[in-house]
Structure 1
Amino acid sequence: MATPSSKAGTKGVPRELRARQMLDAATEEFGARGYAAASLPAIAARVGVTKTLLHQYFGTKEDLWVACLVPVGDRLLGAVRTAMGPDGTTPQTPLRVLDAIFTALEGRRESWFVLYDTTLPPGGEAARTAAGYRSAIDRLAAAGTAELLSGAGSDDPLDADALLYVWRDLVATLVRWWVKHPEETPEAMTRRCARLFAAAAALAPEGGR
């Protein structure tokens, strides 16, 4: 997990670096506390700047949240797209996707909770931007789960819908567990998931029905 930002202050710090420090601190605060509970004074204090300077750089609290979200959303969406690849879904695709997610989040694991923040004010730019990223990731997941089921002999759309729900919750649960275990590297998490998948497959009845 990322360590708390040091109070760097403002003297002699280049503008680009200062902005990066603010975004890092804001991502930590929003990820740990959620949009509703996060505070601009607390974010400013993490960096050693004033709330006024934070406003000058990023505008409102919602503007700052969106500035934190975009790199997170781009990184995760790109990672999932790359992991799924151009050649269709295989039984190894879920593990590749999980590995890509863990790798993309390493060093900033709390950023997952920025994208999947349940405390966003409805109807605003923050909610719309988050919804766009979530929908894009969901579309990739839906295509992948449908292909997996088709390969297993199921063309029931309700099977696909149910598996999509399971996949969403599984990924979120695994990330939450990972955040509580900072000693686990992305590679270790992927190996753990492989063992869990193998154990789950062994519990399935013969014939898969």
Structure 2
Amino acid sequence: MTTLPSKAGTKGVPRAARERQVLAVATEEFGRHGYEATTVAAVAARVGVTKPLLHHYFGSKEDLYLACLNPVGDGLLDAIRDAMAGPATGAPPTPLRVMEALFVALDGRREAWFVLYDGTLPPDSAAARRAAYYRGAIDDLAAIGTADLLQEAGAGDPLDADALTYAWRGLCTALVRWWAGHPEQTPEAMTRRCARLFAASRTILAVDDGNA
């Protein structure tokens, strides 16, 4: 979990470094509290700058949110695409590779996932549309992966793929939320945990073909 002093900034900090401080704190604030409850004043106070200076750097609250969202969304998409394109031979199953990629991408900023999945964004705003774009792109990748899994399992109902994609999104969110509450857990430890959970779920849900 990202942890920064209550006043991370000091006089004489170069603008680029100050902007990185602001984005780190704002991402944490938006992720923890949601867009609606997050204020520019609270972000500015944590960084140790004035509210007018923060507005000068980033514009409105929505502009600040977008400045946090875009690198989060791009980073997660890149991580998932790379994981799905990984070699199949001798590699962990694709779902486990994807989870590992998410944990690595979110390490040090676990709240970032909830910036993307924020239910308090103003409807029909630029922020809501951009977040929906990233969520849709991630869902599209998940749909490809789930369709492949179902094809291997011989499941032919198109709604199965849609239901599994929905369930996968919820599973990812639940695991990241649990991880955010356990800061001592590294990405490697979480990946091993997921491997155990996936293996256990296959055992629990296994169907005896002789009794089907």
Q: Which TM-score band (shorter chain)?
A: over 0.9
Q: Could you say which residue in structure 1 is the equivalent of 2:46? A: 46
Aligned residue type for 2:25: A
By how many angstroms is 1:6 displaced? 4.8
Q: Could you say which residue in structure 2 is the equivalent of 1:59? A: 59
Structure-2 change in CA distance of 1:86 and 1:178 (3 Å): closer
Does residue 78 in structure 1 map to residue 78 in structure 2?
yes
Does residue 156 in structure 1 map to residue 149 in structure 2?
no
By how many angstroms is 1:182 displaced? 0.7
Matched residues in 2 for 1:87 and 1:8: separation?
A: 42
Aligned residue type for 2:100: D
When normalised by structure 2's length, the TM-score is 0.93
Q: Could you say which residue in structure 2 is the equivalent of 1:97? A: 98
Q: Percent identity?
A: 66
By how many angstroms is 1:179 displaced? 0.6
Q: Could you say which residue in structure 2 is the equivalent of 1:121? A: 122
Q: What SS does structure 2 have at the residue aligned with 1:109?
A: coil
By how many angstroms is 1:52 displaced? 0.4
Cα distance per residue 1:77-131 (max 9 Å; x no partner): 100000000668x980000000000000000001111011110001111001101
Q: Could you say which residue in structure 2 is the equivalent of 1:35? A: 35
Q: Could you say which residue in structure 2 is the equivalent of 1:205? A: 207
8 A contact 2:44–2:54 mirrored in 1:
yes
When normalised by structure 1's length, the TM-score is 0.95
Aligned residue type for 1:123: D
Q: Could you say which residue in structure 2 is the equivalent of 1:189? A: 190
Matched residues in 2 for 1:93 and 1:158: separation?
A: 21
Q: Could you say which residue in structure 1 is the equivalent of 2:108? A: 107
By how many angstroms is 1:166 displaced? 1.1
Q: What SS does structure 1 have at the residue aligned with 2:119?
A: coil
8 A contact 2:77–2:137 mirrored in 1:
yes
By how many angstroms is 1:28 displaced? 1.2
Cα distance per residue 1:33-92 (max 9 Å; x no partner): 10000011110011110100010000000000000001100110100000000668x980
8 A contact 1:22–1:44 mirrored in 2:
yes
Q: How many residues align?
A: 209
Matched residues in 2 for 1:108 and 1:135: separation?
A: 22
Q: Could you say which residue in structure 2 is the equivalent of 1:23? A: 23
Taking only aligned residues, the RMSD between alpha carbons, in angstroms, comes to 1.8
Structure 2 gaps of 5+ residues are none
By how many angstroms is 1:11 displaced? 2.1
Structure 1 gaps of 5+ residues are none
Cα distance per residue 1:150-199 (max 9 Å; x no partner): 01111210111111111111111111111111111111111111111111
8 A contact 2:32–2:114 mirrored in 1:
yes
Matched residues in 1 for 2:106 and 2:197: separation?
A: 21
Deviates more, 1:51-60 or 1:90-99: 90-99
8 A contact 1:8–1:47 mirrored in 2:
yes
